[in-house]
Structure 1
Amino acid sequence: MSDLLGSLSISASGMTAQTQRLRHVSENIANADTPGYHRKTISFGEAMNGGVTPGPVRLDRSDLTRVYDPSNPLADATGHYDGSNVDMVMEIADAREAQRSYEANLRMFDQARQMTQSLFDLLRR
């Protein structure tokens, strides 16, 4: 019985972690055109109960793109300014991966819930 309840907890922690990941991906996409914006990344670790715990949010320190637009108020003497380092293809891939991982955790959660319900139904007889 405790294994079934533990699997509910582990699946729920996975869904929570992927929700947080998707939130950061959404922020990155929303700020793709913001000058000087650094992409946010998040890592995951194992929790004490075997679940997933999100790690600290980190900024991607890769080089910012140089954008040529002399009319921009942020432009330097050469007409360039620092754009963001958000790669939309990477963000879309991360969003899909987070969505699929969330869905897998949701299926596991639902399966464990159904098994727990079946166990309770058997015990009531």
Structure 2
Amino acid sequence: MNDLGNSLAASASGMEAQANRIRYVSENIANADTPGYRRKLISFEQVMDGATVRSGKVRLDQQELPEIYSPGHPMANEAGYYKGSNVDLMIEIADAREAQRSYDANVRLFDQARQMMQSLFEVLRR
């Protein structure tokens, strides 16, 4: 019974971590055209029990911001350049797909453990 509970906890923590990842990917995509925006990165940390995971600290991508030439832009300097965002939409879309697939895998694991637990309860009631 404890193993089933651990499976539920592990998959629930995985779903929460991937949901956080999807949130930050969504923020990155929404701000892709925002001048000076730095891509947000999230890492995962293993919890002491070894079976569950949680989201780590959010950090900003330190990759150089591109210089965009647009003399009419309100943020442009004297030379006509302003700092763009370092968000690459292709990377963000790939990250979103990976996070979604991981989330879906955790949902299937959670559902399987729940069904097994439900079957166990039915056997015990007899």
Quickly name the TM-score band, shorter chain normalised: over 0.9
Letter of the structure 2 residue corresponding to residue 33 of structure 1: D
Deviation of 1:78 (Å): 1.2
Deviation of 1:53 (Å): 1.2
Deviation of 1:66 (Å): 1.1
* TM-score, normalization by structure 2: 0.98
Q: Residue 5 of structure 1 corresponds to which residue in structure 2?
A: 5
Secondary structure of 2:79's counterpart equals coil
RMSD: 0.6
Q: Residue 81 of structure 1 corresponds to which residue in structure 2?
A: 82
Alpha-carbon separation, structure 2, partners of 1:98 and 1:66: 30
Deviation of 1:77 (Å): 1.2
Letter of the structure 2 residue corresponding to residue 27 of structure 1: E
- Mapped pair 1:44 → 2:44: yes
Deviation of 1:43 (Å): 0.4
Alpha-carbon separation, structure 2, partners of 1:66 and 1:122: 66
* TM-score, normalization by structure 1: 0.98
Letter of the structure 1 residue corresponding to residue 109 of structure 2: M
The 4+ residue runs of structure 1 with deviation greater than 3 A are none
Q: What's the CA shift string for 1:25-78, capped at 9, x where partnerless?
A: 000000000000000000001112320111100000001111111001110111
Between Structure 1 and Structure 2, how many residues are aligned? 125
Q: Residue 66 of structure 2 corresponds to which residue in structure 1?
A: 65
| Percent of aligned pairs with the same amino acid | 64
Q: Residue 107 of structure 1 corresponds to which residue in structure 2?
A: 108
- Mapped pair 1:55 → 2:49: no
